Amino acid sequence: MTRRRCTLALALTLGLGCGGEEGPKGSVGGDSADGGAVDSGGEGGQDTGPCAEVPLVNWDTFGAGFMLHHCQGCHASTTPDRYGAPPEVTFDSKEQTWAWRDRILERSAVDPPTMPPAGGTSADDRVRLRWWLECAPEGT
């Protein structure tokens, strides 16, 4: 298991406070000294930001299965026919997937999505995709 890191710059970029990953995100103030969290500088911190109340969704709990089921048919390094998917756009690992984070969000987390080309993802899955790539600690 990789240890979750908390990068302050990243946390601020995402509108998150540090230290929020371990406990329930909805927990209300009072214990923000935990881990030396500094969440007063951003806009609202973990109690009010867009990621404040979302469940922790990551590669292990959602991403791997989602990518395998909906994307790897064309994007896996081992797929026999990529149907034109570029060779460099491969999602075999969470590292490769995170490297394409922005494009994945733009292609697959919008309505209607343009990836997969023929659609097929549920609205729930697209919400989870956002929870994962926008709210989970980067690289997880």
Q: Which residues of 82-116 are buried (b: 16+ CB within 10 A; e: fewer)?
A: eeebeeebbbeebeebbbbeeebbeebbeeebebb
Binding mask 14-53 for ligand HEC (x = CB under 6 A): ----------------------------------------
Please tell me whether residue 86 binds ligand HEC under the rule CB under 6 A: yes
Strand extents, DSSP E, 41-136: none
What span, in angstroms and rounded, lies between the C-alpha atoms of 36 and 125?
Answer: 34
The residue with tokens 């990789």 is 2
Q: Which of 26, 36, 103, 110 binds ligand HEC (CB under 6 A)?
A: 103
Please tell me whether residue 57 binds ligand HEC under the rule CB under 6 A: no
Please tell me whether residue 130 binds ligand HEC under the rule CB under 6 A: no
**Chain residues that interact with ligand HEC, rule: CB under 6 A:** 70-71, 73-75, 83-86, 89, 100, 103-104, 107-108, 115-117
